[in-house]
């Protein structure tokens, strides 16, 4: 385990957390249910989040970001996700999967051109790894990037791209040398208006409905060779490194959802009476409250631990895959457990759209699936512990 300082939060951390809490309560809470119902993308609030510095929290100010650390990022994200997981995932992908990767692997020109507008919230960034036939087996990419003089020509179909319908810039992973399999994957930076790139239909989803997800279709899409991120063949490692950061974001999203569901259930258990006493006084309910609270606090510590490991990695270059996967695994399964119990404690009201509890339940499920399923997190953790590849 990473050494956890006893009081890891500085006054800057607390100020940012309070600003995010304030914004989420005032600006997002009143529209969250409506956006979930309509599936409309929250352009206005995302723009305001950009102005507040939430879209590139760890990005240095010279590239449009807030210049804060990994713990600041999870503190702010947690507050947004407590109110709305859709805003949360857009913020997470923008910060982690998009900005973090280009900052880490990009050239100075790439950072200036591709990070600055996205970290400052003027536009949205997205990450595109998955294809219809390759989800967990992320190296089984079929899309092809073929070198043609000073250009690459991109062809193929990518799927499940968070912010796909609205993003202005993408990090895209394609094969440059299929014979080499994973070692033949390369990463590219693609502008959303490049001819030959079209966006597929928006996916109809169970939860996080205000976030927009789609396919990307590349048909002879020509991009300058200078838009390659990293060396040819380095793409798989870049994708995996960036996902370690992303998984901390999704763990935080799960934590926020679980906290919201827990708070609703706690209040309901204390107020709702049955058989002459508050339902929380029955051990069947009280013990659920105890387990929910304990798992939430354990999730938080795993997430802070992973954020501190990520911060250290900026100095040492060490991987923090183990810490990130443990945080995501535990927090996402906690979110499912807590939201399930919260619906149960609310009885019929938990099933009604008049309360947000059913939304938390629907939003929680994706955290066990995207950016690596729970099975993939267990694979990463067990391989790391057993020294296996
Ligand atoms: N950091 C750096 N390097 C890494 C790494 C990491 N986290 N993980 C693996 N690598 C390196 C390995 O060291 C190895 O390098 P060498 O060959 O030089 O030794 C190479 O990558 C291959 O590693 P593996 O043999 O472990 O690869 P694998 O094929 O067994 O796959 C896996 C490992 C963990 C299963 C991986 O494929 C994986 O994480 N799959 C899940 C993919 C995923 O999370 N997809 C979600 C996409 S994003 C999304 O959900 C949509 C969205 O918009 C939010």
CA 105 to CA 278: how far, in whole Å?
56
The pocket around ligand 1, CB under 6 angstroms, is made up of 93, 127, 129-130, 136, 138-139, 160-162, 182, 236-237, 240-241, 243-244, 319, 321, 370-372, 376, 379-380, 389
Instruction: Give me the pLDDT at residue 278, please.
Output: 98
How confident is the prediction for the chain on average, in pLDDT? Answer: 97
- The verdict on domain 126-233 having CATH code 2.40.110.10 is yes
Mutational pocket test of ligand 1: of 127, 240, 248, the residue with most ligand atoms within 8 Å of the beta carbon: 240
Tens of pLDDT, residue by residue over 43-69, are 999 999 999 999 999 999 999 999 999
Instruction: Give me the pLDDT at residue 6, please.
Output: 54
CA 43 to CA 202: how far, in whole Å?
16
* Cα–ligand 1 centroid distance for 185 (angstroms): 12
| Ranges of CATH 1.10.540.10 domains, the chain | 11-123
Q: Are strands 151-162 and 213-224 parallel, antiparallel or unpaired?
A: antiparallel
Average pLDDT estimate for 207-228: 98
The CA–CA distances, whole Å, from 207 to 69, 132, 336 equal 29, 20, 13
Q: Is pLDDT above 60 for 231?
A: yes
CATH of the structural domain 11-123, one choice from 3.30.428.10, 3.30.450.20, 1.10.540.10, 1.50.10.20? 1.10.540.10
Average pLDDT estimate for 215-227: 98
Q: Is pLDDT above 80 for 310?
A: yes
* Cα–ligand 1 centroid distance for 137 (angstroms): 8
In this prediction the pTM is 0.97
Instruction: Give me the pLDDT at residue 340, please.
Output: 98
| Ranges of CATH 2.40.110.10 domains, the chain | 126-233
The verdict on whether 371 is a catalytic residue reads: yes
Q: Is pLDDT above 70 for 357?
A: yes
Tens of pLDDT, residue by residue over 84-102, are 999 999 999 999 999 999 9
First-last CA distance in the chain: 21
Q: Which of 186, 168, 338 is nearest to 256 (CA)?
A: 338
Tens of pLDDT, residue by residue over 255-267, are 999 999 999 999 9
The beta strand positions in the chain, using DSSP E, are: 125-128, 144-148, 151-162, 169-175, 185-191, 197-202, 213-224, 228-229, 273-274, 277-278
Mutational pocket test of ligand 1: of 86, 92, 105, 138, the residue with most ligand atoms within 8 Å of the beta carbon: 138
Q: Which atom of ligand 1 is nearest to the CA of 160?
A: 51
Average pLDDT estimate for 119-139: 97
Q: Is pLDDT above 90 for 8?
A: no
Q: How remote is the C-alpha of 357 from its chain's centroid? A: 21
Looking at 78, 323, 358, 371, which residue is catalytic? 371
Average pLDDT estimate for 178-201: 97
CA 55 to CA 121: how far, in whole Å?
6
Instruction: Give me the pLDDT at residue 7, please.
Output: 60
* Cα–ligand 1 centroid distance for 236 (angstroms): 7
| Residue listed under structure tokens 């939860």 | 207
Instruction: Give me the pLDDT at residue 2, please.
Output: 54
Average pLDDT estimate for 285-296: 98
Q: Which of 39, 20, 25 is nearest to 86 (CA)?
A: 39
Quote the DSSP letter at residue 140: -
Instruction: Give me the pLDDT at residue 5, please.
Output: 55
Instruction: Give me the pLDDT at residue 190, please.
Output: 98
| Ranges of CATH 1.20.140.10 domains, the chain | 236-386
Mutational pocket test of ligand 1: of 173, 186, 230, 237, the residue with most ligand atoms within 8 Å of the beta carbon: 237
Sign of CA dihedral 260, 38, 168, 30: negative
Fold of 236-386: Butyryl-CoA Dehydrogenase, subunit A; domain 3 (1.20.140)
Q: Is pLDDT above 80 for 3?
A: no
Q: Which of 192, 188, 270, 200 is nearest to 232 (CA)?
A: 188
């Amino acid at each position: 385990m990473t050494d956890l300082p006893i009081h890891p939060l500085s006054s800057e951390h607390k100020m940012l957390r309070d600003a995010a809490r304030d914004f989420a309560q005032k600006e997002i809470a009143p529209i969250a249910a409506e956006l979930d119902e309509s599936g409309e993308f929250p352009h206005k609030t995302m723009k305001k989040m950009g102005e507040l510095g939430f879209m590139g929290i760890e990005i240095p100010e010279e590239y449009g970001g807030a210049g804060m650390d990994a713990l600041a990022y999870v503190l702010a994200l947690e507050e947004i996700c407590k109110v709305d997981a859709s805003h949360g995932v857009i913020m997470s992908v923008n910060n982690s999967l998009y900005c973090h990767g280009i900052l880490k692997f990009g050239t100075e020109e790439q950072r200036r051109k591709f990070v600055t507008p996205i970290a400052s919230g003027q536009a949205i960034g997205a990450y595109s790894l998955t294809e219809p036939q390759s989800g967990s087996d992320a190296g089984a990419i079929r899309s092809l990037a073929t070198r043609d003089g000073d250009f690459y020509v991109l062809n193929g179909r990518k799927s499940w791209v968070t912010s796909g319908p609205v993003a202005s810039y993408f990090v895209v992973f394609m094969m440059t040398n299929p014979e080499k399999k994973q070692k033949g994957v390369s990463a590219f930076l693609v502008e959303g208006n490049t001819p030959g790139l079209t966006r597929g239909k928006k996916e109809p989803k169970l939860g996080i409905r205000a976030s927009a997800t789609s396919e990307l279709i590349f048909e002879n899409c020509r991009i300058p060779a200078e838009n390659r991120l990293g060396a040819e063949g380095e793409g798989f490692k870049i994708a995996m490194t960036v996902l370690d950061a992303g998984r901390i974001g999704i763990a935080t999203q799960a934590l926020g959802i679980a906290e919201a569901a827990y708070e609703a259930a706690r209040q309901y258990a204390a107020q709702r009476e049955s058989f002459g006493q508050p339902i929380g006084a029955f051990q069947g309910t009280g013990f659920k409250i105890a387990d929910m609270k304990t798992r939430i606090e354990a999730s938080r510590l795993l997430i802070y631990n992973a954020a501190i490991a990520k911060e250290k990695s900026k100095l040492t270059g060490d991987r923090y895959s183990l810490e990130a996967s443990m945080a995501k695994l535990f927090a996402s399964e906690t979110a499912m457990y807590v939201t399930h119990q919260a619906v149960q404690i609310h009885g019929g009201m938990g099933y009604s759209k008049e309360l947000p509890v059913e939304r938390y339940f629907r939003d929680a499920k994706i955290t066990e699936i995207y950016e690596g399923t729970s099975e993939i997190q267990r694979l990463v953790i067990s391989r790391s512990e057993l020294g296996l590849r």
